Structure 1
Amino acid sequence: MTALSIPARFAEQVARTPETTAVSEAASGIDLTYWELEQRANRLAHYLIGLGVGHEDRVAVLMERSADLVVAFLAILKAGAAYLPVHEAYPADRRQYLIDHAGAAVLLTDNAMRASWVPTGVPVVGVDDSAVTDQSALDPKVPIHPDQVAYVIHTSGSTGQPKGVAVTQRDVVRLLLDPQWAVERHARVLLVAPYAFDVSTYEMWMPLLHGGQVVIAPPGRLEPPTLRRLITTHGITGIHLTAGLFRVLAEEAPETLTGLREILTGGDVIAPTAVRRVLDACPDVVIHAMYGATEGSVFSAHHLLTRDTELGTVVPIGDVLTGICIHILDDRLAPVPAGVVGEIYLAGEGVARGYLGQADLTAERFVADPFGPPGSRMYRTGDMARRNTGGLIEFVGREDSQVKILGFLVEPAEVEAALAGYPGLAHFVVLAREREHGEKQLVGYVVPESDELDLAALRAHIRTKLPDYMVPAVFVQLDSLPLTPNGKLDRAAMPEPDFDEVLTYRPPETPLQHTLSGLFSSLLDAPKVGIDDNFFELGGQSLQAMRLLNRIKAEVGVTILINALFDFPTVAQLAAHIEAVHGPVAKDEEEGP
């Protein structure tokens, strides 16, 4: 019978391959065999047990990436406890909050981290303390049930405080034994993600539970030349790259990934252009687009991409892993038809226990599964998606990222899809920004492949793809898109746009254009409005649109429908429309600015 706890599964592997290298530390050259890793973890586990650590206690870990990190995680599980990763990039007050909120029994650390910061209210233990190395190397043989919590990883919370997701031993082992994995392609996996990021579950336990090797990347963020050297020197076969980092490498140095057998990527929207660049540079590699959530035990679905794959403008979520169900439901929990956008709910195996110490939030996000057996639950992801004509699921965006423009709900990801494939555009993201008057507008942040982008041409292209209210009000050109310490797109680091910037200005030429320009200016607080300036791009929203139509009726004497403003949003276009429908309108130029 297959062992369903990490320590039990690891013990089976130690018995099979005791002398095989389990962990390699790239920076120092330190190697640990399975037997050596077992002994070191046993010593630390005995020490933790001696401190009173036991069943499902949380043990915090704050360390640099190293072989000792793997020892620490394994030892905590052998003691019957759950590990609580604390990100070294977090500010001190956030680290303290995580430790306090989880009620950590102990903090495990190393010399580098202990020298920089020590929390209050919790015992601090160095993994290489002499008291640890003096312990017994025999397996403590603590009984571990598959439904025990293996780790607690924190994710961002809508309240501003992190949420601690409790994932069980069973769910980790189930993930790593899923038949979709071609284990030989993950024989040597690079541990490069921050260990407080849930994908470290794959990086660490996938090779260790299958007789493979974990290669520890040096501390800090890796530059492409360093990554290339690691892949070549250590024969890395499998790696996970966040969608943001994958896109950067694809654009700047896709040859960096030569030699890999499989690349996992996900955690954000995956650019098809990035996939194609990597497959062109590395035709023998397999790319797995992964979809999941920390609350769904890392991965729930995957989509296989090879050099023969035909890529469209969207990379689908793909097929679910064994035992997992993905439902796309409306706000009444009813399945939506194909092509209709709904919210993704994860069900079946892999659904986490919930949020540690947050029963109300757990009840809100982990709901009863009306499609499963009695007592089963679904996790409400907040991700919006639809099934395409081929039955595959396409990610659309986040429920909480939608913005209302002129009364219409707009998903920025749909605008991004329209940008995909535009010549000369390397990277892009569309965000909603709030203006001084409280209404939101779309901003397109774009990175050119080489030379300056023609933003006017880009805007004209988007106008052929989308209605005017979905065209970003401003495009901001950047040298690169900022990334978070976890390698995801850092939306908070995007620069504030200048909504009042006028790229080109053509003054009014006719009396009616003068009048309309003045109305645009006064309603939108814009100091200078040219006849080519777009009402919506200048910040026009639903309230100002209705006011504009009323002012036109009062001052010009004609009635304009709201649809006409969508079709003719510039001063010149609207003036031409009015005169085409109502004939010449006699107004004195003095009425304009």
Structure 2
Amino acid sequence: MTAAHLMKLYFPEVSELTLRTLVELWERTVRKFPHNPAIISEGTTLSYADVNASANRLARVFIEHGAGPEKLVGLALPRSPEMVIGVLATAKAGAAFLPVDAAYPAERTSYIIEDAAPALLCTTDASRAALSPELTVPRLVVDDPRFLDRLRGAEGTDVAPEERTAPLLPDHLAYVIYTSGSTGRPKGVAVTHTGLAALAAAKVAGMAVEPDSRVLQFASPSFDAFLTELLAAFTSGAALIVPTAGTLAADTLEAALLDHRISHAVLPPTAALTVAPRRFPALRTLVVAGEACPPDLVERWAPRVRLLNAYGPTEGTVCATMTGPLSAGDEVTIGRPLPGLEAHVLDDELRQVPVGEIGELFIAGPGLARGYLNRPAMTAERFVANPFGAPGARMFRTGDLASRRSDGQLLFHGRADDQVKLRGFRIELGEVEAVLGRHPQVAQAVAVLRTDHGVPQLAAYAVPVEGAAPTPAELREHMLRSLPDFMVPAVYSTLAALPLSPNGKVDRAALPAPGVLPRTGHREPSTPAEKALCEIFCELFESASIGVDSSFFELGGTSILAIFFIQRAQEAGLDFSPRDVIDNPTIEALAAIAAARSDG
């Protein structure tokens, strides 16, 4: 089905040329379904009319602070109704939203804000405390009583075009999302409104979203899958379900799917594999995206739900290709290009490779991002002339390897460079290596993605400066000061020298399996709780030597693995929260918490 057909099917009253901006997509749905639930979160239900009025009030405040076309509004807000309303308000003001995760290290959030230079930063009192006080960007604190009074005094009707600082056009910026950068700093992908309408139509059609659907808001607002969730709900009249829990995996994900009777969800495969399909009778459609979809996931989910596999870099307006409904036993492809997009599998000289042969995947079409914010050289390197399109047409070099089947569907074959995907997150190994290399005791650094025990994890290798001996704990602490949790290596090894290939480059394939981390004062468990926790640690970290002083994160624990640990501990009669594990990662400390709760 062409983009034009999809547009006529889902937006019959408005032509394809006029229905392009995010605000137009949203306001059309408000007019059609004003009383439908738009946002449901922790017992609170807001109708489309309610959300629209709140977004209009906030948009007018944004405009007063200089927001408008080609300006950015930073949103340092957690997953919440306020974040969603902030996105809509930014669109109504004509500006582009810049998500800022206040849970990231202050060094990273400061860099993003300074690099993007938003006109203002919208935040909460709690998030403001996590941001650097040296930032000079004007801030609006949405839960400040004085700001709430000001907001209540603003007009709630739709923002008229003449109220904006300039006319809003489809090729104006819609959002800027920062992704991992190979140079050691994150880079902002600048995306316009142009591809949003076709993306929305394709998602609504492919996912079979209807006005009575309940769409899970799973993705962090700092990742573009967030847009898929909003568009799928807000262009069909469906309800967007916004849980306030942090990590959604295993028990927390199961609770969100069950308690809210979720009918449609977009999840990374890693998260989908933490729950059992039979538990969710209300779930009708599951889209997996963000990392390669394993065949066993299809075997588990396809018989019970409408299962789709989607693929796309941030540079392609969220999603570039998608399958139809998958069946158990199918070869897992990444589908075909979405309406209005093209996919080319090319060799090193930008020639189409024959069917069945592997080449680099390029995507083209109006949904391509404008480029990288403030990085013209990098933009020119990755967004290249499209030899198969009209004069001036561009295509994006994804860095992914693919092949095309005879039926036109695409098969994914991994990366052609040093970018990896881990639990749905896109990570440039170069950025991880650059941060590790800034440690004063590290002369050389390499990071790789390993699956030595069947669980993918980042591993770091460091060659110390002469006379230095940095410990894994010191290296991890250094990384946590600059990188978000998902980019921090799980294990660290020091080497006398890095293995080299004949051409003098680092031979990543020759790097040894990460060694067992040293344990100081290795002591055996002495209480029932310590013994139970040692057994669980041994299951999770098969190659490690475990004692009561063993630390969950030094052994390679991650936020996803912490969910499994908490589940296993509960089965043993020990109840911990994710915060307990973060603040007290050793067996001894966790056992003490369990003992204190038992005594109480």
TM range (shorter): 0.5 to 0.7
Q: Does 1:54 align with 2:71?
A: no
Structure 1's 392 and 248: CA in aligned 2 closer, same or farther, altered over 3 A? Answer: same
One of 160, 171, 184 as aligned partner of 2:184: 160
Root-mean-square deviation (CA, aligned residues, Å) is 3.3
Structure 1's 333 and 31: CA in aligned 2 closer, same or farther, altered over 3 A? Answer: same
Aligned to 1:275: 298
Aligned to 2:384: 367
Structure 1's 288 and 69: CA in aligned 2 closer, same or farther, altered over 3 A? Answer: same
Q: Does 1:261 align with 2:261?
A: no
Aligned partners of 1:338 and 1:388 also within 8 Å: yes
Q: Please state whether the residue corresponding to 1:147 is helix, strand or coil.
A: coil
> What is the rounded CA distance, in whole Å, between the counterparts of 1:55 and 1:84 in structure 2?
13
> What is the rounded CA distance, in whole Å, between the counterparts of 1:24 and 1:49 in structure 2?
27
Q: Please state whether the residue corresponding to 2:273 is helix, strand or coil.
A: helix
Aligned to 1:219: 245
Structure 1's 368 and 22: CA in aligned 2 closer, same or farther, altered over 3 A? Answer: same
Q: Please state whether the residue corresponding to 1:214 is helix, strand or coil.
A: strand
> What is the rounded CA distance, in whole Å, between the counterparts of 1:156 and 1:233 in structure 2?
34
Aligned to 1:137: 156
Structure 1's 137 and 276: CA in aligned 2 closer, same or farther, altered over 3 A? Answer: same
Structure 1's 345 and 132: CA in aligned 2 closer, same or farther, altered over 3 A? Answer: same
> What is the rounded CA distance, in whole Å, between the counterparts of 2:228 and 2:150 in structure 1?
31
Aligned to 1:343: 360
Aligned to 1:428: none
TM-score normalised according to structure 2 size:
0.66
* Matched residues, number: 432
Aligned partners of 1:323 and 1:348 also within 8 Å: yes
One of 17, 33, 43 as aligned partner of 2:47: 33
One of 446, 470, 484 as aligned partner of 2:453: 446
> What is the rounded CA distance, in whole Å, between the counterparts of 2:90 and 2:444 in structure 1?
52
Aligned partners of 1:186 and 1:206 also within 8 Å: no
Q: Does 1:192 align with 2:211?
A: no
Structure 1's 383 and 223: CA in aligned 2 closer, same or farther, altered over 3 A? Answer: closer
Aligned to 2:33: 17
Q: Does 1:92 align with 2:106?
A: yes
Aligned partners of 2:206 and 2:324 also within 8 Å: no
Aligned partners of 1:247 and 1:271 also within 8 Å: no
TM-score normalised according to structure 1 size:
0.67
Give a deviation string over 1:8-59, Cα, whole Å, max 9, x none. 2222221222111111112xx1211111111111111111111122222100
1:257 CA drift (Å): 4.4
Aligned partners of 2:173 and 2:192 also within 8 Å: yes
Aligned partners of 1:72 and 1:127 also within 8 Å: no
> What is the rounded CA distance, in whole Å, between the counterparts of 2:373 and 2:344 in structure 1?
25
> What is the rounded CA distance, in whole Å, between the counterparts of 1:186 and 1:330 in structure 2?
46
Q: Please state whether the residue corresponding to 1:177 is helix, strand or coil.
A: helix
Structure 1's 335 and 220: CA in aligned 2 closer, same or farther, altered over 3 A? Answer: same
Aligned partners of 2:194 and 2:366 also within 8 Å: no
Q: Superposed, which structure 2 residues align to 1:36-435 within 5 Å? A: 36-119=50-133, 120-128=135-143, 129=147, 130-142=149-161, 143-178=167-202, 179-184=205-210, 187-249=213-275, 253-279=276-302, 283-306=303-326, 308-312=327-331, 315-388=332-405, 390-401=407-418
Amino acid at match of 1:139: D
Give a deviation string over 1:244-299, Cα, whole Å, max 9, x none. 222343xxx444444311111121111111221233xxx33011110101000011
> What is the rounded CA distance, in whole Å, between the counterparts of 2:409 and 2:241 in structure 1?
34
Structure 1's 235 and 381: CA in aligned 2 closer, same or farther, altered over 3 A? Answer: same
Aligned partners of 1:443 and 1:497 also within 8 Å: no
Aligned partners of 1:64 and 1:219 also within 8 Å: no
Structure 1's 493 and 177: CA in aligned 2 closer, same or farther, altered over 3 A? Answer: same
Structure 1's 233 and 155: CA in aligned 2 closer, same or farther, altered over 3 A? Answer: same
Aligned partners of 1:82 and 1:150 also within 8 Å: yes
Give a deviation string over 1:376-417, Cα, whole Å, max 9, x none. 100010111122455432111111149xxxxxxxxx99xxxx
Q: Please state whether the residue corresponding to 1:40 is helix, strand or coil.
A: helix
Higher relative contact order (CA 8 A, sep 6+): 2
One of 482, 493, 498 as aligned partner of 2:489: 493
1:157 CA drift (Å): 1.0
Give a deviation string over 1:508-539, Cα, whole Å, max 9, x none. xxxxxxxxxxxxxxxx9xxxxxxxxxxx9897
Unpaired runs of at least 5, structure 2: 1-13, 162-166, 422-428, 434-442, 456-479, 500-508, 513-600
Q: Please state whether the residue corresponding to 1:445 is helix, strand or coil.
A: coil
Give a deviation string over 1:404-441, Cα, whole Å, max 9, x none. xxxxxxxx99xxxxxxxxxxxxxxxxx9999x999999
Give a deviation string over 1:530-576, Cα, whole Å, max 9, x none. xxxxxx9897xxxxxxxxxxxxxxxxxxxxxxxxxxxxxxxxxxxxx
Unpaired runs of at least 5, structure 1: 403-411, 414-430, 449-483, 501-523, 525-535, 540-593
Q: Please state whether the residue corresponding to 1:201 is helix, strand or coil.
A: helix
Aligned partners of 2:78 and 2:101 also within 8 Å: no
Greater mean alpha carbon deviation, residues 176-185 or residues 204-213:
176-185
Q: Please state whether the residue corresponding to 2:453 is helix, strand or coil.
A: strand
1:89 CA drift (Å): 2.7
> What is the rounded CA distance, in whole Å, between the counterparts of 1:302 and 1:80 in structure 2?
30
> What is the rounded CA distance, in whole Å, between the counterparts of 1:90 and 1:301 in structure 2?
30
> What is the rounded CA distance, in whole Å, between the counterparts of 1:363 and 1:123 in structure 2?
32
> What is the rounded CA distance, in whole Å, between the counterparts of 1:151 and 1:257 in structure 2?
34
Larger radius of gyration: 1
Amino acid at match of 2:334: I
Aligned to 1:552: none
Structure 1's 37 and 352: CA in aligned 2 closer, same or farther, altered over 3 A? Answer: same
> What is the rounded CA distance, in whole Å, between the counterparts of 2:447 and 2:111 in structure 1?
33
Structure 1's 437 and 209: CA in aligned 2 closer, same or farther, altered over 3 A? Answer: closer
